[in-house]
Amino acid sequence: MQVARLHGVGNLRLHDEPIPTPASSESLVRVKAVGICGSDMHWLTEGSIGDMRLEQPLVLGHEFAGVIESGPQRGQRVAVDPAIACGVCEFCREGNPNLCEALRFAGVGACDGALREYVAWETHCLYPLPDALTDADGAMLEPLGVAIHTVDLGHVRPGMTVGVFGCGSIGLLVIQVARVAGATRIIATDLLPHRLNAARALGATTFQAHDGEEADAVFAATNKRGVDAAFEVAGQNAAVETAIAVARPGSRVVLCGIPAGDRTSFSASSARRKGLTLKLVRRMKHTYPRALRLVEGGFVDVQSLVTHRFPLEQVEQAFAVAQRREGIKVMVEG
């Protein structure tokens, strides 16, 4: 089978490797769609995420869907949860598998991801896809799960005004999930015009980010009130600063973006004087059933976010498009 392995910064190579043999608890999955995530770009361009370093050639890709090729469920189309929690550590027992001490996650460390033709994966992490959903839809359930967890952490309630700072794929999904959660007004910012266009198409009021000047525009749009919950989804300090600047006193600021260089900073005085609660997103938990219902029921649109598609043989071109941020979600399809 064909496999794309990252050997170092910018060094992504195609290999021919044996098809994996699933263990008794696993199913063999033929990969049909893999989304390229911002974290994949960190691995490609930096060889690291935070304090994790690339220590061996690694198969990236954790947003994926496919078809089961072995066992009694052979032929079943599935979305794949990329996180395999141990189920027995303190955090798993507390209901927080995303904080598992022994978590295995596709495309991280020694756990190869999905940019290959076949994957052997834990059967309990496979979620059947209804016929109405495409393979790419199934792959988009992973970033949607992150967006659901992000909005959960923001405690969005009906009637709220929320701010979304960063309109990549997860930011655009946060906009939609916040609307479903009851937000009546959503204000979004980004540097890129085509992402702002996408946010507007989803019903957000948008402002182009520029040296923090957008904070004044957000205040003006909210009659100087600010937002009831702020979501930073850009991985940039400027977006964090804006989120804190426009958050109402006593509200929540949720940091979802992954910063380059493993460092986030902001002016402490504003956050302190407002008594803000800061929450940081660690992937997601227990979100796949909800994500499936939201997409199948038409409450969240994932299809419009997939702007580029490439076969596995063109994986380098796919990453180049993602790195240039030409579209929104780049999908590698089998």
Mean pLDDT to the nearest integer, 74-94:
97
Q: At residue 50, does pLDDT exceed 90?
A: no
Same domain? 33 vs 83: yes
Determine how many CB atoms are found less than 10 A away from the CB of residue 97. Answer: 21
pLDDT of res. 135 = 98
Same domain? 321 vs 201: no
User: What is the spatial distance between Cα 149 and Cα 21, in angstroms, rounded to a whole number?
Assistant: 33
Q: At residue 88, does pLDDT exceed 90?
A: yes
User: What is the spatial distance between Cα 285 and Cα 269, in angstroms, rounded to a whole number?
Assistant: 32
pLDDT digits (tens, 9 = 90+) for 244-260: 999 999 999 999 999 98
Question: Tokens for 16?
Answer: 């021919």
User: Where on the phi/psi map is residue 117: left (φ > 0), alpha (ψ -120 to 50), or beta?
Assistant: alpha
Amino acid found at 98: N
Mean pLDDT to the nearest integer, 209-235:
94
Q: At residue 171, does pLDDT exceed 90?
A: yes
Amino acid found at 124: H
pLDDT of res. 70 = 86
User: Where on the phi/psi map is residue 251: left (φ > 0), alpha (ψ -120 to 50), or beta?
Assistant: beta
Q: At residue 212, does pLDDT exceed 90?
A: no
Same domain? 88 vs 155: no
The CA distances from residue 191 to 9, 163, 202, 257, in Å, are 26, 15, 17, 15
Domain-embedded: residue 296? no
Q: At residue 293, does pLDDT exceed 90?
A: yes
Where does the pLDDT of residue 262 fall: very low under 50, low under 70, confident under 90, or very high at 90 and above? confident
In the chain, beta strands by DSSP E: 2-8, 11-16, 26-35, 48-49, 52-53, 63-68, 77-80, 83-84, 104-105, 118-122, 126-128, 161-165, 185-190, 205-208, 227-232, 247-255, 277-280, 306-311, 329-333
User: What is the spatial distance between Cα 243 and Cα 258, in angstroms, rounded to a whole number?
Assistant: 15
Domain that holds residue 38: 2-129+302-333
Same domain? 275 vs 150: yes
Q: How far apart are the first and last CA of the chain?
A: 11
Same domain? 120 vs 207: no
pLDDT of res. 260 = 84
Question: Tokens for 179?
Answer: 């609307």
CATH of the domain at 186: 3.40.50.720
What whole-number percentage of the chain has pLDDT above 90?
94
Same domain? 175 vs 276: yes
33 close to 27: Cβ distance less than 8 angstroms? no
Domain-embedded: residue 118? yes
Domain-embedded: residue 287? no
Task: Supply the mean pLDDT for the chain.
Answer: 96
Per DSSP, 167 falls in state -
Number of domains observed in the structure of the chain: 2
Closest to 307 measured CA to CA, from 192, 195, 176, 164: 195
Same domain? 31 vs 110: yes
Cα-Cα-Cα-Cα torsion 99, 105, 111, 117, nearest 10 degrees, comes to: 170
Where does the pLDDT of residue 86 fall: very low under 50, low under 70, confident under 90, or very high at 90 and above? very high
CATH of the domain at 27: 3.90.180.10
Closest to 14 measured CA to CA, from 25, 3, 22, 1: 3
Give pTM, 2 decimals.
Answer: 0.96
pLDDT of res. 94 = 97
Mean pLDDT to the nearest integer, 316-322:
97
Contacts (Cβ under 8 Å, ≥6 apart) of 282? 98, 99
Give the angle subtended at the CA of 68 by the CAs of 4 and 282, to the nearest 5°: 60
pLDDT digits (tens, 9 = 90+) for 158-167: 999 999 999 9
User: What is the spatial distance between Cα 284 and Cα 272, in angstroms, rounded to a whole number?
Assistant: 27
pLDDT of res. 227 = 98
Domain-embedded: residue 167? yes
